[in-house]
Amino acid sequence: MSEAATGAEALVERLLAGEHRALARAITKIENRAPGYRELVSALYGHAGDARIVGITGSPGAGKSTLVDKLARAYRDRGLTVGVIAVDPSSPYTGGAVLGDRIRMASNVGDMDVFVRSMSARGQLGGLSTATADAVTALDAFGKDRVIVETVGAGQNEVDVVRTADTVAVLVQPGSGDDVQMLKAGILEIGDLFVVNKADVEGAARTVAELEEMVHAGEGRTRATGGHHGPGFASADGREGGADGADAGPTDEADGDDAGADADGADEEGTDDWTPPVLETVATTGEGVDELVATLDEHYEYMARTGALRETVRSRYAAEIRQLIRNDAADLLDDELDRRGGVEALADAVARRETDPYAIADEVLAPVRDCLAERRSTSDDTDGD
């Protein structure tokens, strides 16, 4: 066993024993992809799976951090332990970041059972969703009852992150024309519930009304495509359908009206269905937070009851597996490109019209393809015997 792997083993032991420092270090290793982090996360998986994961997203300034703070407090009042992962963007130029969410989380000072960790969106290509998913696993294995993942709802990266939660709450602030922006960003589809924060501000009632209208107009669409956690996941034919997070989404906005009519019919038959509720909160005072807690629990119970939870968990792990394999394969291929003189040299060759990208891709991947084909035929032979 390598030194890194033994180190990981000791770290897991300390983490499971409840050492905060070990949990913090585990997340650092995950973020840095430090040597031994794979063994670490592998070992943690065996101890995770009990926490409920809540995703909170919304535009900057909507009050996410303040609400997360109050939500954590409310969970603590109910005797639950809480982990928070607050994701902030980083500069694409320097990689630096100022992570400011902690400033707004002061309700749980001196209470180590609320474990807040700030993460920045280092790197690209879904690395963020892998890192946050692994950090959630660490908090889960540590024994946190609730894990809250907070992200700015802008950009595919962030949406991918929050999509992995059991329940997603989308925060909207009143009267800024925000709601229309949300529709544009396609974030409406991922909300299992909507929270109009700063509900004491003028225009809040209108925003609530607008959101409710949108939710109801979108009902059929959610149903038709599986949406985020809609009942479409538990589709009768049992196939994965739209469950692959990356591909789920509104396929055709235009048929929303037709499907909406169907949805009404279904409701009358008393089908067990989830229509995203629109809540109102004032995060600074804690108003509406109890109701939020209750609604989050209701949604979780609904998910558990209808089997949608199983589908969500499955699609979460499916996305993780795919992401991990893509990253690993990309690393292998980078090595191969380096061996062939580096991607720049190959690009120059294309510019000189000596070759083309497709020929290069074919050539670089040929050994992989051949090897897999050979393995397959060997294992087919074995199976046949």
Partner 1 sequence: MSTRTGQRDGDRRTIRCLIAKVGLDGHDRGAHVIARAFRDAGFEVIYSGLHRSPDEIVQAAVQEDVDVLGISILSGAHNTLVPKVIDGLAEYGALEDTLIILGGIIPEEDRAELEELGVAAIFGPGTPMQETVEFVREHAPERR
Of 8, 29, 198, 228, the one binding partner 1 (CB under 8 A) is 29
CB 199 within 8 A of CB 283: no
Based on CB atoms, which residue is closest to partner 1, 85 or 193?
A: 85
Closest residue by Cα to residue 167 from 149, 155, 179: 149
284 touches partner 1 (CB under 8 A): no
What lies within 8 Å, CB to CB, of 85 at 6+ separation is: 117, 119, 132, 135, 136, 139, 147, 148, 149, 150
382 touches partner 1 (CB under 8 A): no
Report residue 138: phi and psi, to 5°: -65, -45
Tokens representing 87 are 């994701």
CB 161 within 8 A of CB 87: yes
User: In the complex, what is the shortest distance from the CB of residue 28 to partner 1, in angstroms, rounded to a whole number?
Assistant: 4
What's the CA gap between 191 and 277, in Å, rounded?
9
Q: Which stretch binds partner 1 (CB under 8 A): 207-215, 222-230, 237-245, 322-330?
A: 322-330
What's the start-to-end Cα distance of the chain, in Å?
Answer: 35
Q: Which stretch binds partner 1 (CB under 8 A): 55-63, 235-243, 329-337, 368-376?
A: 329-337
Q: Which of residues 285-314 bind partner 1 (CB under 8 A)?
A: none
User: Could you give the dihedral angle defined by the CA atoms of residues 155, 289, 97 and 40, in that order, rounded to the nearest 10 degrees?
Assistant: -90
Based on CB atoms, which residue is closest to partner 1, 146 or 228?
A: 146
CB 384 within 8 A of CB 377: no
331 touches partner 1 (CB under 8 A): yes
Instruction: Count residues binding partner 1 (CB under 8 A).
Output: 51
Q: Which stretch binds partner 1 (CB under 8 A): 23-31, 42-50, 244-252, 371-379?
A: 23-31
Distances (CA, A) of 289 to 51, 79, 89, 150: 20, 16, 26, 16
Residue carrying structure tokens 């609400």:
67
75 touches partner 1 (CB under 8 A): no
Work out the burial of residue 376: count CB atoms within 10 Å of its CB; fewer than 13 is exposed, 13-18 middle, 19 or more buried: exposed
143 touches partner 1 (CB under 8 A): no
Closest residue by Cα to residue 71 from 159, 146, 153: 146
CB 223 within 8 A of CB 231: yes
What's the CA gap between 10 and 371, in Å, rounded?
37
Based on CB atoms, which residue is closest to partner 1, 102 or 314?
A: 102
User: In the complex, what is the shortest distance from the CB of residue 304 to partner 1, in angstroms, rounded to a whole number?
Assistant: 30
CB 94 within 8 A of CB 160: no
Closest residue by Cα to residue 164 from 186, 206, 202, 132: 132
DSSP assignment, residue 171?
Answer: E
Binding mask 88-127 for partner 1 (x = CB under 8 A): --xx--xxxxxxx-xxx-x--xx-x--xxxx-x-xxxx-x
28 touches partner 1 (CB under 8 A): yes
User: In the complex, what is the shortest distance from the CB of residue 59 to partner 1, in angstroms, rounded to a whole number?
Assistant: 21
User: In the complex, what is the shortest distance from the CB of residue 150 to partner 1, in angstroms, rounded to a whole number?
Assistant: 14
76 touches partner 1 (CB under 8 A): no
Question: Which amino acid, 135?
Answer: A
Q: Which stretch binds partner 1 (CB under 8 A): 30-38, 182-190, 297-305, 354-362?
A: 30-38
User: In the complex, what is the shortest distance from the CB of residue 333 to partner 1, in angstroms, rounded to a whole number?
Assistant: 7
Binding mask 339-358 for partner 1 (x = CB under 8 A): ----xx--------------
Of 13, 20, 61, 258, the one binding partner 1 (CB under 8 A) is 20
What lies within 8 Å, CB to CB, of 39 at 6+ separation is: 4, 5, 8, 9
User: In the complex, what is the shortest distance from the CB of residue 165 to partner 1, in angstroms, rounded to a whole number?
Assistant: 21
25 touches partner 1 (CB under 8 A): yes
Based on CB atoms, which residue is closest to partner 1, 124 or 382?
A: 124
Binding mask 33-52 for partner 1 (x = CB under 8 A): xxx-xx--------------
Site residues for partner 1 per CB under 8 A: 7, 20-21, 24-25, 27-29, 31-35, 37-38, 90-91, 94-100, 102-104, 106, 109-110, 112, 115-118, 120, 122-125, 127, 327-334, 343-344
